[in-house]
Amino acid sequence: MTGTMGSFGASDGCKIVYELHGKRASTRRVVLVHSLAMDHAYWRPVAERLVRAGACAVALDCRGHGVSDKPGGPYAMDRFADDLSDLQDHLGWDKAVVGGSSMGGSVTLAFAARHLPRVAGLALIDTTAWYGEDAPKAWAGRAAAAIDKGLASLIDFQLTRWFGDAFKEAHPEVVKACVDTFLKNDVPAYAATCNMLGGFDLRAALPSLKVPARVAVGEEDYATPPAMAQALHQGIAGSTYLLLPKARHLTPLERPDEVASEIVALLKTVHG
């Protein structure tokens, strides 16, 4: 399901593009933030299910991704977070449930830390507040590989992480769409985003995120493994935790029913 495309200028002038699903006037509002090197289309299977539940869902292309502007680096997570606030201003929304997957979940956490009054609830999917002790080196290595060898050199690495083997075999069209999106990325912007993630650490802010929150992760996710999701769950008081059996890292595509159900549950908590 495709929605209505739109764009706006962020507060620093960067053009941000988004796709809106459902009726903009709905009070059941959801903002969705994609994984690294993906774009707004990443969330279409989930958004379709949210619209059926009466929600309006907007999925943006983060700066440096998709058809949004790709300013030069370095990139800052706080700026990515402020883009979500600017998006809500553009839409005329005071607050929304915010859901993010992988990198998008980290952006979502940063947004909540900086703009908590604008957060009705958090859906944290296959994500983390900290990528670990070796993160700066590991992410810098991935950035360097993209620059030195090209994005195609990373495809095999990505495919092992993105989806379970059974899903890859059953849904080659989804796999191809992700590969195509990945390869379209601007290499300098990709590298700048990798380096941003390497320095990300929001663990200290988790106790302050006093909003309804649901954490979900694929059982076989080894990009942001269940232990990282459990740390989020333990750090955010009152959050729930869901382990998705046999799923890997991109569960909004691999398991859209369960991911959408988590977001619908948040909407019910907020709106009844």
What is the rounded CA–CA span in Å between residue 121 and residue 81? Answer: 15
SS3 category, 242: strand
Q: Summarize pLDDT for 206-226 with one digit per residue, the tens.
A: 999 999 999 999 999 999 999
Angle at 266 between CA 259 and CA 197, to 5 degrees: 60
Six-digit token pair at 262?
A: 């988590």
Q: Summarize pLDDT for 149-192 with one digit per residue, the tens.
A: 999 999 999 999 999 999 999 999 999 999 999 999 999 999 99
Average pLDDT over residues 37-58: 98
Average pLDDT over residues 233-248: 97
What is the rounded CA–CA span in Å between residue 51 and residue 245? Answer: 26
Burial grade of 47 (CB within 10 A; 0-12, 13-18, 19 or more): buried
Range of the domain at 264: 4-271
Average pLDDT over residues 241-252: 97
Burial grade of 89 (CB within 10 A; 0-12, 13-18, 19 or more): middle
Number of domains in the chain: 1
Q: Summarize pLDDT for 113-154 with one digit per residue, the tens.
A: 999 999 999 999 999 999 999 999 999 999 999 999 999 999
Q: What percent of the chain shows pLDDT beyond 70?
A: 100
Phi, psi of 17 (to 5 degrees): -105, 145
Q: What percent of the chain shows pLDDT beyond 90?
A: 98
Average pLDDT over residues 185-208: 98
CATH number of the domain enclosing 173: 3.40.50.1820
Residue 118 zone, left/alpha/beta (φ > 0; ψ -120 to 50; rest): alpha
